[in-house]
Amino acid sequence: MSDVTDDHVYLSLTEDHGDSDARWAFGTGFEDPLHGVDTAVPATVDAAELAAYCLALGDDALVGAQRLAQWCTLAPELEEEVALANIGLDLLGQARLLYARAGQVDGSGRGEDAYAYFRDAEDFRNVRLAELPNGDFAFSITRLLVLSCWRLAVFQRLAATAPDPVLKAIAAKGVNELAYHRQFAADWAVRLGDGTEESHRRMRAALAGIAPYTAELFVSRPGFGVDPADVREETTAVLQQVLDAAGLELPEAGALPGQGREGDHTEHLAPLLAELQSVARAHPEATW
Amino acid sequence: MTTSQGAQSDGDGAEQRLQEQFDATIAKDQRIEPRDWMPEGYRKTLIRQIAQHAHSEIIGMQPEGEWITRAPSLRRKAILFAKVQDEAGHGLYLYSAAETLGADRADLTERLIEGRQKYSSIFNYPTPTFADVGVIGWFVDGAAICNQVPLCRSSYGPYARSMVRICKEESFHQRQGYELLMTMMRGTDAQREMVQDAVNRWWWPSLMMFGPPDGDSPNSAASMAWKIKRHSNDELRRRFVDMTVPQAEKLGVTLPDPELRWNEERGHHDFGTPDWSELKRVISGDGPCNEQRVARRRAAHEEGAWVREAATAHAAKRAARSARAQEAQNTQEGTAA
């Protein structure tokens, strides 16, 4: 306890603390998230394709983090409050790294905030499942389960084979996080599916609501990165295993027209972004 | 256990010896632990204080939590999200510390949402701008640190230990808040105005966080004697003012108190008297956001009831299934033998 005395805590406040100070809150003390990684784009990689790919994965993460932030102070129990914030923070961290990479390689030199705060809904490339409103806890858990199974399958492949070393490093870091997200969501899906009649009914409703938005996760997109069609089998197998344990089924549903990856969105994205961007856009000259 | 058979049959004499032992532990500045004997008043006072502290952490998530979705940069968003998450974590440790005294978290939550237990009145003020996030970090977390650092030496072990961890995290939060304000003061005129406005609104409520003046603080004397509390309200308030004034100068903001000046003779700052009638109003439920804060906590708790019930039902079913499986295995083994 020697480092917590009555006098020193306060005195430390006006001292200068560089961003390198290791005691700064985890993951929030750095200006350049890719500091120290070789950021040259390999000759075999098309920079525009790489940037667009990072942006799409970054948008999934940012929009997902924003939805999780909306749970803050509303979770059913304090342990879930902490866990949902943890997952939101992981996704926010992934978005920041991916945006930073996009800004390095697309030639614009934009920073993470330019992508998050100064693009409109039609410029976002997230899948629509990420932007749907939170609904009840069953809906949020089911969405998290589907998205984390899917994203983990993508990140595992990127961590093994991405031709860009920075994206590969980002994916490798994300794999551990996503494995935890999937476990958290799977545990709750089983509890809720198996728990009471009401929780089972709510899980069925959540799956029915989510089903139409799952097809676009696996639409083939040849070109840079992992082809989503290649993760369909693994993702659905894992989901099946969890749903079996929960006594639930993913209902059949046709694919909706359009794709988030092409800039097609539900009516829910624009208000989400309006909230996210409100202060930044009210003070475009400000630094924070 | 402390109430051994001998102690019970021995009646008052044993009780007196336990009390003497307890008093000696306190006098030697040693810790009381959950299994030690303690006077009922000590236990009740601690449960009340720790529960209020836990409630404050949980209700305290709301005023800043509202800004996570609107934080104007991704870095600030991450800092704020992590801070509010830390507060949920602090609430968890503190409820656990209260449980070591025989309290029950669900029961304490009921008391909070029914208005039978209090939380820090500071969280009943609104947060209209993003500068409030910085000023809460600087003043409110700063005042909390002044109040809480001495609690790391509180006589009750589990409370003292949770306070060590909480104080470390609070000091991150305070620096983050101050650093946000520094950045904003270097920014646009509009940002500087936001900071000064937030300072004007939060200064007096922050001074009130140390509680009523010493002459008017009903629970203080016993808490001081038991070393649950180590400094008087007025002492801590004075310390906070002395520490904050140079920080305000460095930041370039004006603290809204015309009576504030250095007193060479006393070696402390003189400062004005907070409006104690306002503190009474806010504590008694009439602050700007009391209803809103409790209503949100109640709604979260009630809307989560089906989730908690499902988790309990699933755990019971699982236990029953594994008991049946065990029985079946035993039967099978029995048949095989």
CA-CA distance, B337 to B331, in Å (whole number)?
10
The rounded distance, in Å, linking the Cα atoms of B116 and A98 is 48
Beta bridge partners of B261: B270
| Interface ipTM | 0.92
Torsion sign (Cα): B130, B131, B136, B138: positive
Question: Does residue A79 belong to the interface with chain B, where contact is any CB pair within 8 Å?
Answer: yes
- Quickly tell me which residue has 């646009």 as its tokens: B188
Q: Do B172 and A23 touch (CB under 8 A)?
A: yes
* The pLDDT of residue A13: 47
For residues A95 and A88, give the distance between their C-alpha atoms in angstroms, rounded to a whole number.
11
User: Within 10 A of B154 (CB to CB), how many other CB atoms are there?
Assistant: 25
- CB pair distance less than 8 Å for B317 and A194: yes
Give the pLDDT band of residue B5 (cuts 50, 70, 90).
Answer: very low
Tens digit of each residue's pLDDT (9 = 90 or more) over B124-145: 999 999 999 999 999 999 999 9
The shortest CB-CB distance from B85 to any of A82, A96, A287 is to A82
10 Å Cβ neighbour count for B276? Answer: 12
Residue B300's Cβ-count burial label (10 Å; 0-12, 13-18, 19+) is buried
Chain B closest CA to A175's CA: distance in Å?
Answer: 20
Q: Which of residues 212-251 of A touch B (CB under 8 A)?
A: none
A 10 A CB-CB count for B61 gives 28
Helix (H) or strand (E) holding B45: helix B40-59
Instruction: Please report the pLDDT score of residue A32 as a whole number.
Output: 57
Nearest Cα residue in chain A from B131: A288
Instruction: Look up the pTM and report it.
Output: 0.92
* H or E segment to which residue B269 belongs: strand B268-270
Q: Cα–chain-centroid distance for residue B151?
A: 11
Chain A residues touching B85 at Cβ < 8 A: 81-82, 85-86, 89
A274 touches chain B (CB under 8 A): no
Q: Which residues of B touch A287 (CB under 8 A)?
A: 183, 186-187
Tell which wins on pLDDT, A49 or B147.
A49
Could you read off the pLDDT of B216-256 as tens digits, one per residue?
776 677 777 777 677 889 999 999 999 999 999 999 999 99
In A121-160, the residues whose Cβ lies within 8 Å of chain B are 136-137
A288, B314: Cβ pair inside 8 Å? no
A7, A9, A24: best to mutate for the B interface, most B CBs within 10 A: A9
CB-based burial of residue A212 (10 Å sphere; 0-12 exposed, 13-18 middle, 19+ buried)?
middle
Flag if B168 and A192 touch (Cβ within 8 Å).
no
Q: Does A95 touch chain B (CB under 8 A)?
A: yes
Question: What is the least distance, in Å, from the CA of B272 to any CA of chain A?
Answer: 22
Q: Distances from the Cα of A120 to the Cαs of A123, A131, A237, in angstroms?
A: 5, 14, 35
pLDDT at residue number A254: 87
List CB contacts (< 8 A) between A195 and chain B. 309-314, 317
C-alpha of A243 from chain center: 22
Contacts of A26 in chain B (CB under 8 A): 82
Query: Which residue in the set B72, B164, B307 is minimally distant from A288, CB to CB?
Result: B72
By C-alpha distance, the chain A residue nearest B310 is A195
- What would the pLDDT profile of B13-59 be if each residue is shown by its tens digit? 888 999 999 999 999 989 999 999 999 999 999 999 999 999 999 99
CB-CB under 8 Å, A79 with B82: no
Asked whether the beta carbons of residue B146 and residue A10 sit closer than 8 angstroms, the reply is yes
Q: State the pLDDT confidence band at B203, using cuts at 50, 70 and 90.
A: very high
When comparing pLDDT for A192 and B284, which is higher? Answer: A192
Cross-chain Cβ contact B304/A99 below 8 Å: no
| pLDDT for the residue numbered A148 | 98
Higher-pLDDT residue of B291 and B337 is B291
Q: Is the pLDDT of residue B92 over 90?
A: yes
Of A9, A194, A278, the CB nearest to B149: A9
- The parts of chain A modelled with pLDDT lower than 50 are 1-30
Residue B263's DSSP bridge partners are B268
Using CA atoms, how far apart are residues A212 and B188, in angstroms rounded to an integer?
A: 46
Question: How many inter-chain contacts (A to B, CB under 8 Å) are there?
Answer: 200
Cβ within 8 Å, pair A78-B95: yes
The long-range contacts involving A3-11, CB below 8 angstroms and separated by at least 24 positions, are A3/B168, A4/B149, A4/B152, A4/B164, A4/B167, A4/B168, A5/B149, A6/B149, A6/B150, A9/B145, A9/B149, A9/B167, A9/B171, A10/B142, A10/B145, A10/B146, A10/B243
Judged by CB atoms closer than 8 Å, whether chains meet at B304 and A76 is answered as yes
* C-alpha span between B33 and B157 (Å, rounded): 5
For residue B166, is pLDDT > 80?
A: yes
Which among A1, A85, A199 has CB closest to B81? A85
CB distance B142 to B186 below 8 Å: no
Which residues in chain B are closer than 8 Å to A69, comparing Cβ atoms?
A: 68-69, 77, 81
Query: Which residues of chain B neighbour A10 with C-beta distances below 8 Å?
Result: 142, 145-146, 243
A22 at B interface, C-beta within 8 A:
no
Closest residue, chain A, to B95 (C-alpha) = A78
